[in-house]
Amino acid sequence: MTNFDVVVVGGGPSGATAAEDLARSGYSVVLLDRDGRIKPCGGAIPPRLIADFDLPDEQLVARIRTARMISPTKRKVDIPIENGFVGMVDREHFDEFLRCRAAAAGARRITGTFQKIERDGGGTHVCYRDKATGETARLTCKLVIGADGARSNVAKAEVPGGDRIPYVIAYHEIIEAPATTEAYDPDRCDVIYDGTISPDFYGWVFPHGKHASVGMGTQDGSIDLKLATTALRRASGLTDCKTIRKEGAPIPLKPLDRWDNGRDVVLAGDAAGVVAPSSGEGIYYAMVGGRVAATAAAACLASGKVADLKLARKLFMKEHKGVFKVLGAMQNAYYRSDMRRERFVSLCHDVDVQKLTFEAYMNKKLVAARPLAHLKIGVKNIAHLMGLVSPTRV
């Protein structure tokens, strides 16, 4: 069989989710993915992802109960995660689980590298280099979902603006987890806001059960990511831990203004730019992006109207635009300098900030309750940004 309803290019969380949803809805789907690629990722997922996408417990390699913010002057703020936990996954196994689940739902898996899209009287054709044979082959379909990452070749070729996604470069090292110490706790994520590690983003130490992810990200092309991560490991007491693997990749900073080509292509996940500003969180938003892309594709196939492809972006932004706007403003305000980062960590001492932040993270929406708490946070935020309070005050 070489004729399909949809070809999904890219087998990460976004592409695998889109392929599974479409296959379960009865459409013929191909999931085209390169072999052996693992994206650098802290691996954090919120409870809403576990519920919305029916993730089994065995995929969780750790359950995080505390988040530690570390300032440029090494001040530490521990934020307890009340009434729940943040789950951790290892992308090496998590992504493959999602691809296998899509295949079990009826999607056909093909391992190969996307080359281009061609069109003629016979339809839309996805050309790729087959992994097994090394030869060029093609698949005929009605629609294409581009879920092939932040520097998506599908987006570059097919969607206006797809070649201009701003991004940071993320790099991490998976290491053997050390024994529990004050510096390392298997139930705690450490987020390091320090210009010597990253001048415009942050560094992290995230437990993964027997392993841990240690890394950082930056938009600054002059930064040596490996040296910065070496410094982070040294500062975190992790220099002597065995390194399992090293990975680097771009992480987009802003959703594209358009996700479809008005004809036969719609984007999803990193290819559409849907990674949360400030936090860099991408797994949940990638899977939501895959789901709304599948919804848009199914609507288009049912109606024959290409305008239905716009549903993907409309549905995503309807629910998540507010969160992205707030997080983007926070990144622009506090990631500029170590002085601002110091003030941001100071602000995190506030109990209302802690509660509202994690309520929003766990549920993936802005919390409308407790207006007095919002007012209090707003006043403190302005005071810190204007330098009216000392960053050492709590």
Condensed to tens digits (0 to 9), the pLDDT of residues 239-249 reads 999 999 999 98
Give dist(CA 392, CA 75) in Å, integer. 9
Give dist(CA 233, CA 346) in Å, integer. 24
> What pLDDT is recorded for position 290?
98
pLDDT (average), residues 319-332: 84
- Sequence letter at residue 89: V
The string of pLDDT tens digits covering residues 278-289 is 788 889 999 999
How many residues belong to the chain?
A: 394
Q: Where are the domains of the chain?
A: 3-41+91-165+253-319, 60-88+167-252, 324-386
DSSP state of 305: -
Among residues 95, 268, 311, 76, the alpha carbon closest in space to that of 188 is found at 76
CA atoms within 13 A on the CB side of 100: 6
Lowest mean per-residue pLDDT among 115-129, 156-170, 326-340: 326-340
> What pLDDT is recorded for position 368?
55
Q: What Rg value do the Cα atoms of the chain yield, rounded? A: 21
Confirm or reject CATH 3.40.50.300 for domain 3-41+91-165+253-319, answering yes or no. Answer: no
* Phi, psi angles (nearest 5°) of residue 155: -65, -45
Confidence of residue 272 (pLDDT cuts 50, 70, 90): very high
Per-residue tokens: 125:
């054709």
Looking at every residue in the chain, the average pLDDT score rounds to: 88
Per-residue tokens: 197:
């590690």
* Phi, psi angles (nearest 5°) of residue 138: -145, 155
Among residues 319, 266, 324, the alpha carbon closest in space to that of 295 is found at 266
- Sequence letter at residue 370: R
Among residues 315, 327, 286, 290, the alpha carbon closest in space to that of 43 is found at 286
**CATH fold for domain 60-88+167-252:** D-Amino Acid Oxidase; Chain A, domain 2 (3.30.9)
The string of pLDDT tens digits covering residues 46-65 is 888 999 999 999 999 999 99
Task: Reply yes or no on whether the pLDDT at 326 is more than 60.
Answer: yes
Residue with token string 């935020």 = 381
The string of pLDDT tens digits covering residues 153-210 is 999 999 999 988 888 899 999 999 999 988 899 999 999 999 999 998 999 999 999 9
Which pTM value belongs to this model? 0.90
